[in-house]
Amino acid sequence: MKIVFGCDHAGYPLRDAVLKHLKDMGHEVVDVGCYTPDPVDYPVIGEKAARKVASGECELGVIVCGTGIGISVAANHVRGVRAAACSEPYSAEMARRHNNVNIISFGARVVGEGLACAIVDAFLSAQFEGGRHAERLAMIDHILP
């Protein structure tokens, strides 16, 4: 699968472990940075990652900031993106199965390397169930801004 990865400086400590895990799993990774621990604004990275998914260049995304929250809020501003911040695998799995989330995020100040990789695995191995969940997502699409 082609997956976009992005992180800000606070997510940077998980960068190498998550990238290695994705590549070890055989995924092709599009890396939108950041590439150093220097401070960078999470909305910039969240938008970059989200555009890769919204354009169809990447199927799914993994983004990391300090909490996972700010970068997912930013990504959710791009039409067609459903990003969710998850701190454990069950939520990550259900985010895909019920909410058709296409970008998962988590915080490097919240989870360690092992949990981060477990969250990624749960997210990537789950499938959207459609049916009543698709109807509910359509309702969300019809909420006026």
Catalytic site residue 98? yes
Q: Which of 7, 34, 58, 65 is catalytic?
A: 65
42 near ligand RB5, judged by CB under 6 A = yes
Place of tokens 């699409």: 141
CA dist 142 and 40 (Å) reads: 33
Query: Is 4 a residue that touches ligand RB5 (CB under 6 A)?
Result: no
User: Does 66 engage in binding with ligand RB5 (CB under 6 A)?
Assistant: yes
DSSP string, 77-127: TSTT--EEE-SSHHHHHHHHHTT---EEEEETTT--HHHHHHHHHHHHH--
User: Is 142 an active-site residue?
Assistant: no
Number of residues that bind ligand RB5 (CB under 6 A): 9
Q: Which one, of 34, 116, 102, 30, lies nearest residue 72 by Cα?
A: 102
Q: Is 115 in the site for ligand RB5 (CB under 6 A)?
A: no
Regarding 70 and contact with ligand RB5 (CB under 6 A), the answer is: yes
Using the rule CB under 6 A, which residue among 32, 50, 65, 81 binds ligand RB5? 65
104 vs 100: CA distance, rounded Å: 11
- Which residues are designated catalytic? 65, 98
- Residue ranges that bind ligand RB5, judged by CB under 6 A: 8, 10, 42, 65-67, 69-70, 107
